[in-house]
Amino acid sequence: MLALPVNDSFEQRMQIAFIFTATCWAFWWNIQWKRVMGFWVRPPNRPWVQVLFRAFFALSFLGALSRLLQELREHSLARWDIIPTVLIAVIMCIAVTLISAFGLWMIERRDRNADIQVE
């Protein structure tokens, strides 16, 4: 993956926080894989579809983790940059959590309404 050189301390903190957030999100996909599949397909799902999604989620996590470690190796944070970077990452994680929760709520609502209409 081509990365632009990061010279500015703020940009570096933002980039590391973003990659950390993406890694956490990909990790969550692996933990809640049945629910997260609902973003793309409706249940019931065939076993081969589940295997493909599990592989996709695992590869996404491994790629994000690899990128995070690479970024930390290439651009180590100064001691005074660690706390601001963590705070930015926490804000990003909260935003992603809220957006994901809303999306999952909408999916569950859609599926519930579809079940009611079928009956």
- Entry pTM: 0.78
The Cα 12–Cα 108 span in angstroms is 38
pLDDT, tens digit only, all 119 positions of the chain: 555 555 678 888 999 999 999 999 999 999 999 888 888 888 778 999 999 999 999 999 999 999 999 999 988 888 888 899 999 999 999 999 999 999 989 988 888 887 676 66
- Position 95 scores a pLDDT of 96
Burial of 5 (0-12, 13-18, 19+ CB in 10 A): exposed
